Structure 1
């Protein structure tokens, strides 16, 4: 399976379609880069429960302005289809002590990348039970190199001692990718690439004061990324997402899921009466605290001192009062470098977009991260 450019010649343009293919919905956002700034031409979501992904993509295409050609397509997928992991591998010193030259450095890094791919495949099979040939290796990247415990920017020119590598690996379920590839070919979208949310975040967090913990809330799961010292120190997943809260409300209030989603959006926008808002918070508190406990347990697995900023985005509108996320158990249980600050990561934090109604809705942040990744690479 191939990624990146398709076989026909790309044409330069200003329109970027960002897609997130989830378990229950496909989210979309069409950007246009103009001389006056970035504009959003279309956005929304389509359910996938009763349709094939290709059919859903065609429904989305029919909603886009027909006069606006799509020049770039940036796609991400939910956790079950798109896996990312940070691993650490070591290599003992070989032979007598010597200075590593450029040829040896290239050979060592080829060896470690190959070893990382095998390790990641074995881990993927052990955790998911899905055969390795069902997934395609998207990318393996060296995040950090260390020699005898000291970080170095490159191996060449350093003494040969014990080497340690931190690597980021990503695998994509091939059956999830094929309908999107077919859609791109059918509509002659030449410039197409698949991005894990970790890659999009990696681009975003390069700017100052963006080191922190990022929680991307999906339908069924939540992805956790810890970014510090210009690299990902930890990636993890917990098996609880927005749908757990929707089901909780549906059972507790006797509402249909579609009605619950509208109710939750009104709650996030603070448009319900004060009494109803307070009652909602009371109902939700046990589930929110359960969610916070799972996040804390996963972060403790990182075994590192954590940065003091925690950003929440995705389908996290139900967590309107973020301070309740880790109550009543205090955040002191976690090894933060400083007193943590919890907040939503909003589209307006990622991209300066003209007249976008969703600029303050964390639901669209993931798509804006994809768009920012594409637009910032020009």
Structure 2
């Protein structure tokens, strides 16, 4: 009997598009066993392209920028992408992530829950919670419930009569409590994402929850920490306990405010101010200039810190009475020296930390199972992009 060699299985290629509030990044990667292999990447800052906001997905200049970063990454990857899956990360002011607590009371607590009742409970609790979230968004932003699209949900925790359970079937009891993560956005943004995906010659897309992927990236380490993703216009706060997502928060303030202050005080264009901020963060300026810039940025840095403490205080008033001892930083806005200095040097006595929190940066090498064959991922600006590699 003649044996034929097995056909070599074609590797699936993934395109990750990270739409930030200050820059756009692309990654092309594949998977080999448990490894995520980076084949190509590119980054473009908006201020160099005349783009005001990453939310402007419908503008032609933004579409051209996306096509450009994908084109540059493709040149490095040297691979076909006709059938690849495109993974989208959107800014925190577009893609919303919200953890919601909701309860359900059973009419017959002595009855053991079967599969049919479990499906009915989930259907009711998800629909009810989505309606409540939609109404909350309408009150906050004026977006009508019919104009909101729910991307996904994940049940983080289930409790029956105060006891944590892993499933409903086979359980009896009366009072159920669910903690659920919802990911959603306005429908007009979703249509823009679909249009750009089509313009790239692709059909398959997935909009990804950063908080969920952050947990997947650090799940094996069972880490307990507060993660700060400091972008251009938004600071996202993710609290994790033993590798599990606990709370989400954030506020609309990031690295862009420091560029604006430099432009305003020094009377220079936004482009020159952004260049100056980058050189300052890279510590390539003279000591005299660095001291002057530090004085200019101090007020806004303290304002950012006050907003952070306010949100951490809100988190501590919920289920997390004691805040994690470790604060992990990533995102382009975290590169500013003042951010690290104020976190390390200011007082935390008015917040419920057992000891003074330790502040650390997440670097690409801290992410497990990432292999950078392209040898171009050298900055923490790429951390949000690399998290897309963990998408299930």
TM-score (norm 2): 0.83
CA distance in structure 2 between the aligned counterparts of 1:37 and 1:148, rounded to whole angstroms: 42
1:258-280 CA-partner distances (Å, limit 9, x unpaired):
22222222222233334433443
Offset at residue 321 of structure 1 (A):
4.5
- Residue 266 of structure 2, aligned match among 253, 263, 280: 253
Give SS of 1:137's match.
Answer: strand
The verdict on how the C-alpha distance between 1:25 and 1:329 changes in structure 2, with shifts beyond 3 A counting, is closer
Offset at residue 21 of structure 1 (A):
2.3
1:199-253 CA-partner distances (Å, limit 9, x unpaired):
2213113121532111122222211111124432211121211111110111122
Contact persistence 2:40–2:374 (CA under 8 A): no
Contact persistence 2:222–2:244 (CA under 8 A): no
- Residue 353 of structure 1, aligned match among 361, 369, 372: 372
Unaligned runs of 5+ in 2: 1-8, 53-58
Offset at residue 295 of structure 1 (A):
0.8
The verdict on how the C-alpha distance between 1:174 and 1:347 changes in structure 2, with shifts beyond 3 A counting, is farther
Unaligned runs of 5+ in 1: 1-10
Contact persistence 2:232–2:333 (CA under 8 A): no
- Residue 27 of structure 2, aligned match among 26, 29, 37: 29
The verdict on how the C-alpha distance between 1:222 and 1:215 changes in structure 2, with shifts beyond 3 A counting, is same
CA distance in structure 2 between the aligned counterparts of 1:65 and 1:103, rounded to whole angstroms: 48
Cross-structure match for 2:17: 19
Cross-structure match for 1:325: 342
Offset at residue 64 of structure 1 (A):
3.7
CA distance in structure 2 between the aligned counterparts of 1:254 and 1:357, rounded to whole angstroms: 35
CA distance in structure 2 between the aligned counterparts of 1:256 and 1:40, rounded to whole angstroms: 36
The verdict on how the C-alpha distance between 1:109 and 1:230 changes in structure 2, with shifts beyond 3 A counting, is farther
Cross-structure match for 2:328: 311
Report 1:1-378 matches (<5 A). Answer: 13-23=11-21, 25-31=23-29, 38-45=37-44, 47=46, 48-49=51-52, 51-66=60-75, 67-70=78-81, 71-302=84-315, 303=317, 304=320, 305-326=322-343, 330-350=347-367, 351-354=370-373, 356-359=375-378, 361-370=379-388, 372-374=389-391, 377=392
Q: Which moved more, 1:229-238 or 1:52-61?
A: 52-61
1:262-310 CA-partner distances (Å, limit 9, x unpaired):
2222222233334433443333222112111101101111222221221
Offset at residue 83 of structure 1 (A):
0.8
CA distance in structure 2 between the aligned counterparts of 1:206 and 1:14, rounded to whole angstroms: 24
Q: Which moved more, 1:266-275 or 1:145-154?
A: 266-275
1:98-117 CA-partner distances (Å, limit 9, x unpaired):
43333322322222111111
Offset at residue 87 of structure 1 (A):
0.8
- Over aligned residues, Cα RMSD in angstroms? 2.7
Q: Which moved more, 1:98-107 or 1:70-79?
A: 98-107
CA distance in structure 2 between the aligned counterparts of 1:240 and 1:278, rounded to whole angstroms: 23
CA distance in structure 1 between the aligned counterparts of 2:274 and 2:181, rounded to whole angstroms: 35
Offset at residue 167 of structure 1 (A):
0.5
Contact persistence 1:307–1:338 (CA under 8 A): no
The verdict on how the C-alpha distance between 1:51 and 1:44 changes in structure 2, with shifts beyond 3 A counting, is same
Give SS of 1:144's match.
Answer: strand
Offset at residue 52 of structure 1 (A):
4.5
CA distance in structure 1 between the aligned counterparts of 2:43 and 2:225, rounded to whole angstroms: 28
Offset at residue 147 of structure 1 (A):
1.7
Offset at residue 44 of structure 1 (A):
0.9
The count of residues paired between Structure 1 and Structure 2 equals: 363
1:155-180 CA-partner distances (Å, limit 9, x unpaired):
22333132111010111222223233
1:83-130 CA-partner distances (Å, limit 9, x unpaired):
110010112342343433333223222221111111111111112211
TM-score (norm 1): 0.86
